[in-house]
Structures are given as structure tokens and as C-alpha cells.
Amino acid sequence: MIARRERLHVLHLHSTFGAGGKERRSVDLINRFGPGVDHSIVSAEPGQLGAAALISKAIPVRFPIGFPALAGRFSVRRLQTLARAMQGFDLILTYNWGAMDAAMAHALFAPRMGLGPLVHHEDGFNADEAERLKTSRNWYRRMALARSSGIVVPSRRLEQIALDAWKQPAARVHRIPNGIDTKAYGRKPRPDALPRIIKRPGERWVGTLAGLRPVKNLRRLVRAFRTLPPEWQLVILGEGPEREAIVAEAMDLAIGHRVHLPGHVPDPAQAIGLFDLFALSSDSEQFPLSVVEAMASGLAVASPAVGDVADIVSAENRAFITAAGDEAALAGALADLAADEALRRRIGAANQTRARAEFDAKAMTRHYAALYAAALGRERFP
């Protein structure tokens, strides 16, 4: 049993700590819990630490050097080494499949080594499980999460997967919808708010915010966009390994001059307001934070019906959530919304009302604080 200290020290083990949706949510919670908690953050992809820039300078945070790799060939000795590295922390938070070996190490060695409680966060799947879950991974998750104090999922689909495919007890699974500071969105930014691109008079922007990874299928978005009138530009905010492939797709379609990739944006609230329409093109999502951010900014959304997207948007927007994988339908939704400014405004207003009522960060933070407090056997967290 770990002796309680005056200050809590939380260990975060991420599949990646690039500035994607789950990482930005994690950082938002870290900032909201305040400087009274110490945090150590490890990324399974050591170079992916882009979200670190979003952490308030008032927060005590460390990025341990020499922490054992979170991914690698399975062996009991490697898991034992991981478990030793987790000693001395009050609370261990793991994120996605990339940190599942750490959860397994905890399941095997927590009692013997006196490890703190573990809460796992699952936000979705990469391209290798976008269409179908791997049976071997389902079995591994069942065993690895056996000693967890809780499993957090943002979507109804993931909740059902945790209950059915991973055979987790209902009391252990907690569905907490992603939330944002909705009041920070909805203001009109300056035309030059983004690096390397300025919104010019008369232009209209279809925008998206995503890690440039295969599962986001942004080449599909480029193809769906290509038939829009020439005043429309496609602006893709984010970084990742698919950048060159996206640019090549745009060049092949002779619309390279209308497709822009300004890179990572530290504060989406300062940029999304430049968009006239928001689009998603992913093969797999669960509860995409970017859709909530677009809604809070008063935008209509065109997207495949992946994850909980159809439930997230307002009733007025649901006609523009198309069948997953249907590229022609996505292109049609974009064209219909691009052609009707009054419709976009009406849907955007309904989306903004829903985001402020249902998806504000204050409610999300209360739910996470209650879960972490229960795991620690405390009345409150921090």
C-alpha cells in the first residue's frame, strides 16, 4: 500500500502524446486539476510530445528520461521492468492500445510491488482495427484490464465493446463524453490567425482538425472536396506521417492550390472560427473532440457516420452524416452545405446550442475527478 503524500503524483502512459484529441483532453484535465498535482508523462512514441506545449507552465510536469519502452516483444521480464518503473506513483493512467503492456504489467505485479491504482482510457482504434477488432488483442485487453480501477470510454460503441468484447464488469466501465471550454469557441478570429495562410475576402473554407494518419483518411476528404466551386478552399490543421500523401492527392487532382496544410495549431479555438464548414473523413472515430469544437464554433458538420458522430451533432445536422465509407455521399453532403449559406448558419446555430448544453468541459472534469477519487479511495480529487 502506498503511503498517501500531501501532493499526488500521477503517471500518464500514452500511446502517443502528439497534439491529437485524446492528448488535448488529457492536457485540459491536467490544467483544470491545477498545480496541486504532480504529473509524469510517457509516450509510447518518444518523439511524439506535441501536446506538452499546451500544459500550463504553472503545472509541475516531468517527462521521465529512461522510462522503459511501452511497446515491445512480450516477455514477463519486460513487463516486470515496466511494473518497477510504475512504483511510487499514486495513480497510473494508461491510454489506448499503445499503453496496454503497462496495464498488463500492472495486472501481473501490482499487489506484489505495491503499485497505485490504474485507470485505463480507450479512445478508439488505429487503421489495423478500424473495421474489425483483432481477437488476440481482445483477449489481451481482458487480462490486462483485470486489476484496473476503471475504464473510461467516450462513446456508446466503445462502451459496448468494453462490456462485450473485453468482458469487463459494468461497474468498471465509465462512459464520459469528451468536453471542451465551449465559451472559448464561436468568436471570429483574425484572417491571419493561422501560419502560412490568410483567409482572403470572398473565400470560403472547408476545414478539419486531425492527426495526419491513415485512419483519418484525409485523401478521401481531398477527393470529396474537389467538385466544390473555386471560391472554396480546403484547410487541414494537424501534423503526421500522411502529409506528403495528402499533398500528392491534391496535386494529382489539380487542386493543390486550393488545399492547405498549415500544420499544428496550439489553440484550435483561435482557428476553427475561420472555417465556414467542418468536415471529417475518418475510417474510425469514437467521440471526436474536433466535431464538438466545430459545433461550439457554430459550424455545420459533414462526416461519415463513424463512432458517435451522428449522436453528437444536432438533429438538424444529422442528414449530413453519411454512411461510413461512402465517399460519394460525403462529397454530396459537402456540396449541399457549401451551396446554402442559410442552411449552414441554421445548422451551425443548432450545433452550438447543443455543444454548450451537453459537452462543456466542466461536467467532463467533474466526472473524471469523481472516478480518480474513487480509485484512490479519497473523497475528492485532487
pLDDT at 3: 45
What structural domains does the chain harbor? 8-179+361-376 (3.40.50.2000), 182-358 (3.40.50.2000)
pLDDT at 353: 97
pLDDT tens figures, 46-68: 888 989 999 999 999 999 999 99
Closest CA to 293 of 306, 278, 315: 278
Give me the helix-helix angle, 135-144 and 100-113, nearest 10°: 30
Task: Calculate what percentage of the chain has a pLDDT beyond 90.
Answer: 87
Task: Please name the amino acid found at residue 308.
Answer: D
Report pLDDT digits (tens) over 122-132.
998 877 887 78
- Whether residue 195 is predicted with pLDDT greater than 90 in this model: the reply is no
Q: What is the CA radius of gyration of the chain?
A: 21
Answer whether residue 5 shows pLDDT above 80: no
**3-class DSSP state of 341:** helix
**Is residue 155 a contact partner of residue 307, using CB atoms and an 8 Å limit?**
yes
Residue 128's pLDDT is 83
